[in-house]
Amino acid sequence: RFCSVSGISKNKAMVERLQHFGVITSSKVAEVMETVDRALFVPSGSAPYDDSPMAIGYNATISAPHMHATCLQLLEENLQPGMHALDVGSGM
């Protein structure tokens, strides 16, 4: 884990922490990650803003926020406004 943001209840604060630790270096990636609230993709009652993978049911997990940020930064020059990226893990 790059950072832990336990107790921080806002998506923006999670992104700022990832920027602080150098995980997010792109302003575009920060903007995108601030726009889509991670809490929408995890079970209620969990800690969606912790930088760790978490169980989402069906024996599956959602990756840690730093992994999503890293993938978006690698894709950044190929993604144009209006495009979408779907992050599907391989389970490995």
Q: What residues act catalytically?
A: 63
Rounded to the nearest 10 degrees, the angle between the axes of helix 65-75 and helix 27-35 is: 130
Q: Under a CB-based contact definition with an 8 Å cutoff, are residues 17 and 8 in contact?
A: yes
| CA–CA separation, 42 and 61 (whole Å) | 9
